[in-house]
Chains A and B, each alone.
Chain A
Amino acid sequence: MSKGCCEFVTGSVVADGRSIPTVSTRLSPRDIAGTWKVRWNIGRDHYSVAPGLYAVGAPTGESPVFVSANYKLSFDVLRQALNGVDGWILVLDTKGINVWCAAGKGTFGTRELEQRIAGVGLERIVTHRVVIAPQLGAPGVSAPHVREATGFRVKFGPVRAKDIPAYLAAGQKKDEEMRRVRFRLTDRITVAPVELVQGWPVLLGAVLVAMALGLPLDAGFLSRCLSYALSLVGAVIVGTILFPALLPILPFRAFALKGAVLGAVWGVVSALVAHGTLAGGAAMALAGAAVVSFAGMNFTGTSTFTCQPGAELEVKVALIPQIAGGVLGVGLLAATRIFGL
């Protein structure tokens, strides 16, 4: 790979008689725009860098080796955190997926790491036998197996790349907080927009249902449409943005239940705001509960503390009620229109 192949490559170092590309530790406006776009699901399926070995700063054979996924966001977060550090970055082929998801799928995995170490001839680049992997790669990487296969010891560094300088200063040791995954409000809000954008079919459906409920096409059509759209489209936004924000304070542990409560409240509130009838309010509460329950349940995959058996139980118990509730709720809304309830 030569200089100029990618914007973030700024030069090269020679090691083991080969030219290894050096990457910048500063994110360019294009990198920052790219981060923003993938947070909104734009281009997220092909936002990756080429796997292989890279350099930051002016590394030597004694410099630490950091392992990364080839999702460009993961790579950018890592190289930015390595500002001021002389080191090597070993990028694994995780099919453009971030570290934790890839580890769960096995692509940020034992075999890929072993093959990549061998493939770049790491043993000829560094004199030590340690690679520092992000802690969230651990579900996919068996350090004992990698040591057996390659002679390299995998140390799991901090959860967050920004803690790497402190980790290095402490002699490659983590404190309690560096090992913990937190899911604070800012974390939840950061990952929420993707849910909204990926929910575009549901958003479209909500608009179409609102239009259908607004019929006939008379003078009141637009205002009726808008009124229903506010409630129904609002339910999708409540399910994908407000739900993540309120997650820890919503009742129950199951996300489908948390969502049902939030959705029912939204349905009633939005019906009241639209000066709806009692029957309309009840119908909207049902539809709202169904939509927000479904959206909320789907947030399990984005959250940081849910186990598979729990997610399976949620789907088994809640999916049919969600579909039925949605159909029934919309049906009741139609009935209120048709029969003037």
Chain B
Amino acid sequence: MRMTYIKNGETLSYDASRCNGCRECVEVCPHAVFAMQGPKAAIVDREACMECGACAQNCASGAIRVTAGVGCASAVIQGMIRGTQPACGCGGAAASSSGSGCCGN
């Protein structure tokens, strides 16, 4: 079942003129946002993009930009409480903080 979400993919930008056809974006995207069309990549499902940043991290030619973040309301709330960017604070000393709804995996 195709699952989409509000505001998915809005910060994703792609410059085809810089694409060298290495296919890394296709290989690393968990939701098939990119597909090869001929020698170059293309965005085929922007609404599936959760802005994880895997593509931008691994595009050697800098053709992809996205504002990577974590789609976690709990992290947003904890950031608000602490006055920081969204952060879940799990792992290490902060692990015992309430952090509800943290990454179930």
Chain A positions within 8 Å of B, measured between CB atoms, are 45-46, 73, 94-98, 100-105, 107, 110, 135-136, 138-144, 156, 159, 174, 176, 179-181, 183, 190-192, 194-195, 198-199, 201, 247-248, 253-256, 295, 297-315, 319
Contacts and interface: CB of A to CB of B under 8 A. Distances in A.
A191 B73 CA distance: 16
Interface in B56-105: 57-58, 60, 67-77, 80, 86, 88, 90-92, 95-96, 98-105
Given A307-B51, A310-B5, A315 B76 contact: yes
Contacts of B30: 135-136, 159, 179-181, 304
Contacts of A110: 57
Contact of A141 (B50, B57, B90, B104): B57
B68 A254 contact: no
B52 A139 contact: yes
Q: Which 5 residue pairs of A and B lie closest in terms of their CB atoms, listed nearest first?
A: A308-B69, A191-B104, A298-B101, A301-B72, A306-B71
Given A100-B103, A305-B8, A310-B6, A140 B71 contact: no
15 contacts: A45-B96, A100-B103, A105-B91, A135-B28, A143-B24, A199-B100, A254-B6, A302-B105, A304-B3, A306-B72, A307-B50, A309-B10, A309-B11, A309-B67, A314-B6
B72 to A, nearest CB: 3
Nearest to B6: A310
Interface string B1-33: 101111111110000000000001011111110
Contacts of B60: 143-144
B41 interface: no
A20 B80 CA distance: 45
Given A156-B28, A307-B51, 9 more contacts: A110-B57, A138-B28, A179-B27, A254-B5, A301-B71, A307-B49, A311-B70, A311-B73, A315-B76
| Contact-size category for B | 35 or more
Contacts of B102: 101, 194, 198, 301-302
B9 A307 contact: yes
B86 A312 contact: yes
B48 interface: yes
B54 A195 contact: no
B76 A312 contact: yes
A297 B54 CA distance: 24
Contact of A315 (B4, B77, B96): B77
Contacts of B99: 198
Given A180-B32, A195-B101, A298-B101, A307 B71 contact: yes
B6 A201 contact: no
A303 B31 CA distance: 13
